[in-house]
Amino acid sequence: MTERVDITIIGAGVVGCSIAYELSRVFPDDNIIVVEKNLQINGENQSSRNSGVIHAGIFYNKKLSPLKAKLCLEGNRLLYEFCKKNNVLHKNTGKIVVATEDIEIDYLNDVLKIAKENGVEGIRELSSQEIKQLEPNIFGIAGLYVPSSGIVETTQLINKLSQLAEANGVIFLTGNKVENVRLSNEDKSLFTVTVKSTSLVEEFNTRVLINCAGLYSDEISKLVNPKTNYEIQPIKGDYAKFYCLKRKDIKLNGLNVYPVPFGYYSNGERAVVSFDKFLELLEKNEVTKSLGVHLSPTFDLENFKSNDNIQNIKNSDSFIHNTIIIGPAYSKPENKEDYKNSRDVHYFYKMIKPFFPNINIDDISLHQTGIRAKLKNFHDFVIEQDVDMPNFINLVGIDSPGLTSCLAIAKYILPMVKNILS
């Protein structure tokens, strides 16, 4: 007889690990397995290759992106609470969003409108002078201050979630790729999952199957139910960096600094159009909404690792590094594993120069590349039980703000799992 488990999660990114952690707390007596194709939890995926920003919930329109709007706001609170409780390196930095020319004012006003509709607290409008008071080297004709934004050290977060889940009995099968999923011959209410590692092929039955496969979530969905039509449209995001203490005129005070969001075409180029035209293009799926190439502070991990008191992080300021990340700069990858850099330093320079006027090209160096799991022709997360196979739960197109939303997503699917297991 084939071995049986209660819950199987495919994918050990930040969302998969969050779900494993949450379910292991709620169902301590159930057998839970997480299957991950990479050899380690923090492998080559979108969870480990991003800017680590904790979003506030100001960019996600309730009409187009209701789940993103809801889960980002809830996730923001849950993530800060989790990081504080579990000593995960994070900082509530705050964020400023700046408009640098008149055509951008309507975009900025839309951000304020969305923030108020979503219930984001503490946001306030900034004049050009008030922007300078917060960040003297940033230029804007108008802006917004968002106090609940921050940053988190993503590898620590994922490691802590997986460690806590393991302590609760969750088994992580790393270096295992899902080769096949079919209804069990022994019991049609179960799935038989076939996994393959470098050395062997194994099969087991599972009562609940949760698809958290990120870039490959569309392929897993079709593997289980060929009728599904999800299509992940991978979007490459390159990052650069600079050292902000190199000169006084590029020093920053530690906030996340964003331009106004805008639309970009499939080739990664910005749509320089009025806000009304942008909405028209967005409705037709001719552009994708981007939060823009922004500036985010980073953590000094070497200082953190050498500190004797890392078990109780009270002053995260002491671990803030003077290296600033620039990005993401979007482009179309050749495939889902195309992590080679596509943008040069001139592109980053061009994108941040309007709001960061003192930066020079030779201040900038290339950093890393990530790939975002954008769901084609969708503006929102897809989190739902399969129509034909309700014990199969799909999480598809979990791109930004997936990191911020991870713990809220885990709680969101909890009633689905309870219903299946009851």
List the one residue out of 18, 8, 395 whose CA is nearest residue 208. Answer: 8
**Strand (E) or helix (H) holding 322:** strand 320-331
Predicted confidence (pLDDT) at residue 314 exceeds the cutoff of 60? no
373 and 214 Cβ atoms separated by less than 8 Å: yes
List the one residue out of 156, 178, 170, 228 whose CA is nearest residue 11. Answer: 178
B/e letters for 387-409, b = 16+ CB within 10 Å, e = fewer, are eebebbbbbbbbbbbbbbbbbbb
Q: Assign residue 212 the CATH number of its domain.
A: 3.50.50.60
Predicted confidence (pLDDT) at residue 306 exceeds the cutoff of 70? no
The pLDDT value recorded for residue 127 is 98
What's the rounded Cα separation, in Å, for the pair 108 and 316?
Answer: 30
What is the three-class DSSP state of 215? Answer: helix
Select the more confidently predicted residue: 404 or 289: 404
The pLDDT value recorded for residue 48 is 59
The pLDDT value recorded for residue 46 is 62
The pLDDT value recorded for residue 294 is 96
Q: How confident is the model at residue 28 (pLDDT cuts 50, 70, 90)?
A: very high
85, burial (CB in 10 Å: exposed 0-12, middle 13-18, buried 19+) = exposed
369 and 339 Cβ atoms separated by less than 8 Å: yes
Is beta strand 171-174 parallel, antiparallel or unpaired with respect to 32-36? parallel
Predicted confidence (pLDDT) at residue 277 exceeds the cutoff of 70? yes
Q: Alpha-carbon Rg of the chain, whole angstroms?
A: 22
Straight-line distance from the first to the last Cα atom of the chain, in angstroms, rounded to the nearest whole number = 24
The pLDDT value recorded for residue 199 is 87
What's the rounded Cα separation, in Å, for the pair 123 and 117?
Answer: 12
Q: What is the pTM of this model?
A: 0.94
Q: How confident is the model at residue 43 (pLDDT cuts 50, 70, 90)?
A: low
Q: How confident is the model at residue 44 (pLDDT cuts 50, 70, 90)?
A: low
Lowest mean pLDDT among 5-9, 185-189, 313-317: 313-317
268 and 332 Cβ atoms separated by less than 8 Å: yes
Predicted confidence (pLDDT) at residue 390 exceeds the cutoff of 70? yes
CA atoms within 13 A on the CB side of 21: 23
The pLDDT value recorded for residue 319 is 67
Which pLDDT tens digit goes with each residue over 225-258? 999 999 999 999 999 999 999 999 999 999 999 9
Task: Tell me the average pLDDT across 27-55.
Answer: 84
Tokens 């020093």 belong to which residue? 251
Predicted confidence (pLDDT) at residue 303 exceeds the cutoff of 70? no
The pLDDT value recorded for residue 300 is 77
What's the rounded Cα separation, in Å, for the pair 346 and 300?
Answer: 26
The pLDDT value recorded for residue 307 is 53
Which pLDDT tens digit goes with each residue over 146-160? 999 999 999 999 999
The pLDDT value recorded for residue 317 is 58
Residue type, 38: N
Predicted confidence (pLDDT) at residue 309 exceeds the cutoff of 90? no
242 and 365 Cβ atoms separated by less than 8 Å: yes
Predicted confidence (pLDDT) at residue 32 exceeds the cutoff of 70? yes
DSSP string, 24-35: HHH-TTS-EEEE
What is the largest distance, in Å, between two alpha-carbon atoms of the chain? 72
Predicted confidence (pLDDT) at residue 105 exceeds the cutoff of 70? yes
List the one residue out of 64, 55, 20, 10 whose CA is nearest residue 413. Answer: 20
Q: How far is CA 342 from the centre of its chain?
A: 21
Tokens 């690990």 belong to which residue? 17
Average pLDDT of the chain to the nearest whole number: 92
Give the range of the structural domain holding residue 83, as residue numbers without chain letter: 4-421
Lowest mean pLDDT among 149-153, 256-260, 333-337, 361-365: 333-337
Predicted confidence (pLDDT) at residue 18 exceeds the cutoff of 90? yes
> In Å, what is the CA distance from 254 to each residue of 203, 326, 359, 392?
49, 13, 16, 43
Task: Tell me the average pLDDT across 128-136.
Answer: 98
Per the structure, how many domains does the chain have? Answer: 1
